[in-house]
Amino acid sequence: MSDSNGDGWASKPVAPRVNADAIPDDLKRLARWVGWRYVKDVDEETGKVEWDKPPVSVRGGYAASSTNAKTWARYDDALAVYLSGKFGLDGLGFVLHVPRGHQGDRLIGVDLDDCRDPANGVIAGWAKGIIEQLDTYAEVSPSGTGVRLFLYGALPPHGRKKKFEGYVIEVYENVRYVTVTGQHIEGTPRTINRRHEQILAVHKVAFGEKSQAPPPGREGVGLPPNVNDADLIYRAMRAKNGPKFKRLWEGDCAGYPSQSEAELALCNELAFWCGRDPERIAGLVAQSGMWRSKWKRECYRDRTIGKALDGRTEFYEPPRKPVFGTSNHAGHTNGEANGHAGGEAAAGDEEKPSRFPDCVAIGDLVDDDVDDWVWHGLIKPKTISLVTALWKAGKTSLMAHLYKALAGDGLFCGLRVRGCKALVISEEGSGLWARRRKRLGIGNHVRMMIRPIPRTNDVDVWRDFLDHVKARCEKYGVGVVVFDCLANFWPAENENDATHVLTAMSPLRELTDAGLAVVLVHHNRKSEGLDGTSARGSGALAGFVDHIIELRRYTQGDYKDRRRVLRCLGRYEETPAEVVIALSEDGMTYVRLEDSRQDARGAREAADLKDCESKLISAMKKADPDRRGLSETALREAASVHEKLGRIKCDRARISLVGQGVVREVKIKVKSGRGRVDEVDGYAFHGL
């Protein structure tokens, strides 16, 4: 802390500039970055001044949280905000986070406080021994009086902070934000190394062996020692009073006279889950958003935890394993078994709680859908649209004209368009897009990312990239995100494997949950398939999205024909079944063909089908007077009476006849008996 100035207040410390070049790449590649700035903290009782370093989200300058990933950012974004001076940041910070279900080594941060002389850089012997033993990246803290190290390993469930005579050591691996200066300590590695055995040895010396039994008279069950901090917080946030715990954990003091009362409330909640384990309660509060420098004062910390434990008789009790044939609720006297947490009364123990929502009566549902289509019937906020076509069929050209149309409200291909900003993530080079922009006059309401990431099978990289995309959309007010084409970016190692496809697609819901319309441009399979199944790869792709737009040539194989057909499927009734469009001669716009032309074409097809029906049934009656069924050869001969009929496929009792020039498929179903009156000699005709 700085010396006091003339008015009796401590002056604000001056933080060292962040040395970006020295920060290890292992930290830079993770999207867990925040900023921080000094905030004056005056002790309510003594008037003593200290300077806290609360985390700040670089996305908007508001408070960040070690438990809310939406307040974190990519390293490049955080560094840019810091260097710009925006939000008045004094430095950068990093969130230590263990994803739920993560197996293997974790990124650990180690703090050695009050061990360095900022005037000459001399490090105390006890700290120097730990630094040498851990042998990993180490840097100077913002105050210049401490050292921080990063390493890979895993910590025991307990023991996070220890104060000895003359020094303090802290170790963290989860739900904890730490400052990062890049002020590398010479003589230590510049990389973050795996030091699992070494950190366990240091931890054992600093914290000793954990006692397995509480002191006499202080019994309290709580979560077993092998449940780590992340799981404890996860369970507490999903208990019956989880929303209250979450607010306190994130540092929200609303509703309390002061932060001291809010800290006591958080300790009350933690005491239920931790049992009579004051050390663990203290360590968890230090990891929460409620932390402040006052919590470092041992007398205040012990007094607050003591109040939370005094007189408490109710603690979390792990559920007993049910005996076969007995009720699953047997022995569940408190804890998660009845949704109880922190001493609040439970509604009853007749129902096992769930972290999933309850069911509601269909009459209670409200139609909150609004007419906010970006492209009417095809692209909508909070949904995913899949645009597919064969190679060189014109899908990128169609999309480029759509981008132009998004400049304002109007019509595109005869469908209403609502103007909005778009972000296009493209596999094509900047030169091609520069020419398209110039030729079509695409405005700056469209932003581009040209080949932003290489094709990867790493789902974590894909998630980090989508976080970056979401941040860019928030920054520039984007409403539509287009991936053109999807196969060049997503991490589906095998696009024919449903598991791989769904693993790659699921993170896209983070974008739709943020209110964005997502458009995926993809290739058709060579055969193009039936409606809704044209997209290359597993059918899980088509099943995952909300709208399917299949772009096909109007006349198959005619590459001079400028007409195209959009065959569309979707979850909404506004989605058209088919739209026929044509590119103008000058290539500047797409127009929808007149409906009357389509109606006439449909009428001709219907007449053809009726003619097919009449002549085919007549031929079948003649060839099979006893109604025993016709062979495929006999059916082909019968079908030859009409030049419109093409190939015939025989599938047991059902025969499909696909007419050349006839869009619809007709099916002839062979009946074994005479059938009803309206069936001609046992043959029922179905036009689909």
- Predicted confidence at residue 97, as pLDDT, reads 86
What is the average pLDDT score of the chain? 77
**Percentage above 90 pLDDT, the chain:** 32
Axis-axis angle for helices 229-237, 278-287 (nearest 10): 80
pLDDT score of 276 more than 90: no
CA distance 26 to 466: 19
Residue of 247 and 600 predicted with greater confidence:
247
**Paired tokens of 664:** 């619809």
Taking 3-state DSSP, the helix, strand and coil percentages for the chain, each rounded to the nearest 5, stand at 30, 20, 45
CA distance 609 to 515: 46
Over the Cα atoms of the chain, what is R_g? 34
CA distance 143 to 617: 93
pLDDT score of 142 more than 80: yes
Which pLDDT tens digit goes with each residue over 360-407? Answer: 788 777 666 667 899 999 999 999 999 998 877 788 889 999 999 999
For the sheet containing 91-96, what is the strand order? 55-56, 33-36, 91-96, 176-180
Q: Average pLDDT, stretch 18-27?
A: 95
Give the global pTM. Answer: 0.43
- Predicted confidence at residue 562, as pLDDT, reads 81
Bridging pattern class, strands 176-180 and 415-417: unpaired
Q: How many CB atoms lie within 10 A of CB 49?
A: 17
Per-residue confidence band for 500, with pLDDT thresholds at 50, 70 and 90: confident
Q: Average pLDDT, stretch 137-149?
A: 95
- Predicted confidence at residue 328, as pLDDT, reads 38
Contact partners, residue 216, CB within 8 Å, separation at least 6: none
CA distance 134 to 131: 5
Per-residue confidence band for 670, with pLDDT thresholds at 50, 70 and 90: very low
DSSP 213: S
Write the single-letter amino acid at 473. C
Write the single-letter amino acid at 142. P
Q: Average pLDDT, stretch 641-646?
A: 50
- Predicted confidence at residue 629, as pLDDT, reads 59
Which pLDDT tens digit goes with each residue over 548-590? Answer: 999 988 877 677 788 888 888 888 888 998 889 888 877 788 8
Which pLDDT tens digit goes with each residue over 208-243? Answer: 765 333 333 333 445 555 566 777 788 888 888 889
- Predicted confidence at residue 338, as pLDDT, reads 38
Which pLDDT tens digit goes with each residue over 380-392? Answer: 999 999 999 887 7
Q: Average pLDDT, stretch 612-637?
A: 65
Per-residue confidence band for 594, with pLDDT thresholds at 50, 70 and 90: low
CA distance 472 to 551: 29
Could you give phi then psi for residue 37, rounded to 5 degrees?
-145, 150
Per-residue confidence band for 354, with pLDDT thresholds at 50, 70 and 90: low
CA distance 570 to 532: 9
Residue of 28 and 554 predicted with greater confidence:
28
Contact of 34 with 177, CB cutoff 8 Å: yes
Q: Average pLDDT, stretch 483-502?
A: 86
